[in-house]
Amino acid sequence: MTQPILALKDIHKAFGGVVAIENFSLDLYPGEIVALVGDNGAGKSTLIKIVSGVYKPTSGSIRLDGEDTSFSDASGAREAGIEVVYQDLALADQQPVYMNMFLGRELTKGPFGLLDKRKMMDDTQSLVDELDVRIPSSRATIRDLSGGQRQGIAIARATHWASKLILLDEPTAALGVAETARVEELVLSLRERNIAILIVSHSLDQVFRLSNRICVLRRGKQIGVRETEKTDKNEIIAMITGLQT
């Protein structure tokens, strides 16, 4: 088997006295989509934030491509090739698509370091074309786009910058049915890029449509990991709730 892109081992996280994550271990391989499921407060977002460098684990190790890593902040994780797509769309609404695509990492040219808007627009256009995110233009203002188009931009941005791993925290929670379907297609198409994808979702239908493996959390405890093809909704629901069905 190939080496995992991300290897989490015995991750533990406590906020003061509150234990949010206990003994969590998971390996993510290139080209696979792993779903993280669990009830509200199970610790899913906390885990995403640990991997993306927002929180430091209280103990445990994070290995990226076989190397021990410890991110001091989100910028560190980003530089290591980890991108996050947030449920509440971390986009600047009044700015054009291409500026959002390069937010915080704008391209410059010339001796005065002026913005290379042309290149940012062109790169954005070829990326959205490649991923089939249908927007009127790379110069369109974000707030003139639909929710699905916006989440498409956020995922395209993550795809552009992620060399190892994309984390998606409930990426379709704010979207309608048709938009959700578009975003799911987009997520599936990312599998070919040989990066790993960890997705948090409340919709088991979605989880079964997208993932290769499903990891269940309950009150911070890792209940188990199943291959999607070898399990069913009933088993996952039982694992989430702790009740037999």
Residue 225: name its binding partner from other proteins, Mg ion, ligand ADP, none (Cβ under 5 to 8 Å by kind): none
Shortest reach from residue 45's CB to Mg ion, in Å: 3
Residue 43: name its binding partner from ligand ADP, Mg ion, other proteins, none (Cβ under 5 to 8 Å by kind): ligand ADP
Q: Where in 124-143 is the site for other proteins (CB under 8 A)?
A: 141
Q: Where in 144-163 is the site for other proteins (CB under 8 A)?
A: 144
Which of the stretches 28-36, 112-120, 121-129, 222-230 binds other proteins when contact is defined by CB under 8 A? 112-120
- What H or E segment, with its residue span, contains residue 165? strand 165-169
Q: Residue written as tokens 């498409």?
A: 152
Residue type, 213: R
Q: How far apart are CA 83 and CA 158, in angstroms?
A: 5
In 3D space, the residue among 188, 238, 233, 234 whose CA is nearest the CA of residue 212 turns out to be 188
Q: Which residues contact 180 (CB under 8 A, 6 or more apart)?
A: 148, 172, 206
Which of the stretches 21-29, 56-64, 93-101, 195-203 binds other proteins when contact is defined by CB under 8 A? 93-101
Please classify residue 160 by burial: count the beta carbons closer than 10 Å to its beta carbon, then call 0-12 exposed, 13-18 middle and 19+ buried: middle
Interaction of residue 242 with ligand ADP, rule CB under 6 A: no
Please classify residue 111 by burial: count the beta carbons closer than 10 Å to its beta carbon, then call 0-12 exposed, 13-18 middle and 19+ buried: exposed
How is residue 144 annotated by DSSP?
A: G
Cross-sheet strand order for the sheet of 33-37: 67-69, 59-64, 6-15, 18-28, 221-227, 213-218, 33-37, 196-200, 165-169, 82-85
User: x-or-dash pattern for ligand ADP, window 6-45, by CB under 6 A?
Assistant: ---------x--x-x-----------------x-xxxxxx
> Toward other proteins, which CB reaches closer, 56 or 219?
56
Interaction of residue 99 with other proteins, rule CB under 8 A: yes
Binding site for other proteins (CB under 8 A): 74-75, 78, 84, 86, 90-95, 99, 103-106, 108, 113-115, 117, 141, 144
Point out which residues bind ligand ADP (CB under 6 A).
Answer: 15, 18, 20, 38, 40-46
Residues that bind Mg ion (CB under 5 A): 45
